[in-house]
Structures are given as structure tokens and as C-alpha cells.
Amino acid sequence: MTTVHEPAAALTDAEGLAVWPASTAEPRPGELSVGGVRLTEIAERFGTPAYVLDEDEVRRRCRTYRDTFPEAEIHYAAKAFLCRAMAGWVREEGLGLDVCSAGELQLALSAGFPADRIVLHGNAKTPDDLGQALRYGVGRIVIDSPSEIARLAAAVGPDGHQKVMVRVVPGISAGGHEKIRTGTADQKFGLSISDGYAQHAIARILDQPQLELTGLHCHLGSQITAVKPYVAAVRRMVGLMARLHDQHGLVLPELDLGGGHGIAYRPGERALDLPLLARKVRAELIEACAAAGLPVPRLILEPGRAVAGPAGVALYRVVTVKHTGGRTFVAVDGGMSDNPRPALYGVRYAPRLVGRRVSTTLAPVTVVGRHCEAGDVVAADVPLPDDVRPGDLVALPVAGAYHLSMASGYNLVGRPPVAAVRDGRARLLVRRESAEDLHSRDVGL
């Protein structure tokens, strides 16, 4: 039997909108607007599925990082979401950029992003990745494996010069799911302190005069909501810096703590406390460096999800409503091809019906996608009005990060468009992927 939740169990409007962009408003019952633009207008103009990105929310979050960490260098992690407009906003707000491929690098450069404010990451950088980075003069390349050292030195050439960092594994487990924890030695990223690989790689880099080692890098994982792992990472990274100073007389001017800053996807969930993180990390860095007799290095942070995620809203149209096996399935016109995160690591969302007056009685439903996979679930066991029906518009907040950037061509559906909203206006940033786009790559006839 389907359980019906009484209206008293529902969240208040303020609670329900807690994870939405700050500009979200309800101009009339059942309707929502973001950036002064009604979500129904977005759906009518651009179709569904579609992504809405609040430009002011992105910019506000960039400024929050700058203001909270005034002494640090902040790089936006492009893997979370990147388009030319996003690169432009990040540049104008004074942030640098992290890229993981030649493709991300070229897109950023095409938007006018300065190459010297770009850092190249990646555990398996291809010759093309390294070649493009050197050709355009990226600010730093983060070395992730021993084999990269000789390849990079050879590509730079005896008369060249490239600033590099080393990605170190500090042996700290943190992150919202085992698939996004990267601070321990049992995963593919970085060089471990505990087995000596990090120290050995650093010694090899110092033997390459064309490579300038500017600092150490670590990234503990993603969706981290506690401050303690970052404080522990500072302690261990400074400890390594002290040993490098003793062994090589090396004083490194930079320390990159990566990103992974957790955000709330549903009302009531915890997010990383940035002011607390700043206070604790700053205090630990000063204290640890003083104890080691080292100058305090310049701190670098790499937020991605925490900048883009809360600024995005995904819009879907309900296609069918099915009652079967004691459950209610609400199927929408998108799914795992435009958001694989629920299938990959079980993320949970708080969808909302928008665009009309709805019943105040809520019922548990599972919002599913249109794809031929039983695991194509958008949001499992969530409360929606019990009068949900085909044609309704479903809005999914906190959809700005790792949705479109991880989208696929499964079932040849085509990836959704992205529209930016600001000051009551909407403009297209990324157009919908058409059947012609998909078919043009098929040259086998």
C-alpha cells in the first residue's frame, strides 16, 4: 500500500528552497523563478530536459572563496562544469582554472582565459595533453606519476622551462562515497608519502633543470563536509616539506590542498563550513610551518562543485506515471544520460513540481529516467504532490556540477542545453545536442 504523507510533514517553502540559488522566488503559488526568470518560461523556450545556470550565484560563490581565503590562490575545477561563459565568469571574478585535458584547455583558451592562470591535472596525461599545455604556456602542470617526469622534461627540451607541482597522497580517507575518495594509496591518483614514491619523484624532478618544482598538491576526495581531514592534510604535507628541506635544502613556495568541498543537495544536509575551514587550515599551516622552521607557503584551493553545483537547476517534463509493485514511478524525459551521478554513487536529490498549483498532499514516488536501465533513477523515494501527472514540470536543484560534464550519448538521446539567467533574462550558453550532431560522427556507410 502506498503511504501518504500528511501536509504537516511537508517542508515549509523556506526549508524546501534552502538548497536552491539565492535568487529563487515564488512569484505565484506553484511557480518558481530563478534569476528573475520563470522556470516554465525556460522550459517553453528551450524545451526539456534543460539546465538553468544562475550567473549571479556562480559569481557570488567565486567571490565568497576570494573573500574567505584572501591570502590564497583559488582555481575553479573545470571538470565540474565548463563552457565558454563559465570560463569568462571565473576569469572576471579573479579565479584561476584547473583543467584535466587538452579539450578543457582549448575551450578555456577560446574564451580568452589566460594560459598562465591555468593548471593541468590528470593521472594519465596524453602526449597531446602535455603538448598543448606546453604550447600555450599553462601556469603549472601537476605531476601525477613517475613516468610523467621524463616525458615532460623531454617535451620541454633542454632550453625550456615549466613550473610543476607533485600530487601527493597523504594517506587520509575522506569523501562522500568510496568512488570519490582520492586521499589514500589504494586508488589511481598521486604519489604516496608512506611508500616513498612521492619523495623519490621529487628527487627526480630536482635533477631536471628545465622543471621548476613550485609546490606540493593533494586532493582528498569529493563531497567532504568535515574540516578535520583538511587540517590533517596540512600537517602531513608540511611534514613532507620539512623532510624535503632537510634532505635537499628545498623551500617550496606553494601548497595546494585541492578541492572536494561538500555542498548540500537536500534541505537539512550538511555543507562544508568555509569560514571554519579557513580559520583551521590557516592556523594549522602557520603553526606547522613555525615548528618546522619553514616560511608559510602560498595556499591554493580548487573548488568546483561548491561553485557550480548550487547554481544549477535541471528541468524535466513528466512523461508517464506508473503505479506498480506498491510503488509509484514518475518517469521524466531525461535521466542517466544527462545525470549519471545517482547511478554512479547513489547521490540523492530533492525534486519539486513547478508551473501549476498542486495538491498539498504528498506521496512518496521514485523519479526515473527514460533510459533502458533499471538503475536509471533520478531521485528515489521522494515526496511529490499526489496529483503529479504527465506534462508536469519537475525541477531538480543543485544540478550545476557533474551533470552535463559527465553526460553521455546513451540511447542517442542528445545532451540538454544550458541557459544562463540573470536580471530577468535568459540566454543560451550551450545548445541542445541534435540528432544531426549525433549522426554526423557515424561515417561507416
> Tens digit of pLDDT for each residue in 118-163?
999 998 899 999 999 999 999 999 999 999 999 999 999 999 999 9
Give the confidence band of 369 by pLDDT, cuts at 50, 70, 90: very high
8 has pLDDT over 80? no
Active site residue 83: no
DSSP-derived letter for residue 249 is -
Is the pLDDT confidence value at 4 over 70?
no
pLDDT in the model for residue 173: 63
- Give me the torsion for CA of 206, 207, 208, 213, rounded to 10°: 0
Q: Which of 62, 218, 289, 372 is catalytic?
A: 372
- Domain map (residue ranges) of the chain: 7-53+310-440, 55-309
Binned at pLDDT 50, 70 and 90, residue 15 comes out as: low
- Directed axis angle between helix 84-92 and helix 55-68, to 10°? 40
Among the residues of 52-137, which ranges form H helices?
55-68, 84-92, 102-110, 127-136
Q: Which CATH architecture has domain 55-309?
A: Alpha-Beta Barrel (3.20)
Q: What is the mean pLDDT of the chain?
A: 91
Residue closest to 51 by CA, chosen among 435, 434, 431, 436: 431
Residue 82 contacts residue 106 (beta carbons within 8 Å): no
Q: Does residue 87 have a pLDDT over 50?
A: yes
Specify the CATH superfamily of domain 7-53+310-440. Answer: Lyase, Ornithine Decarboxylase; Chain A, domain 1 (2.40.37.10)
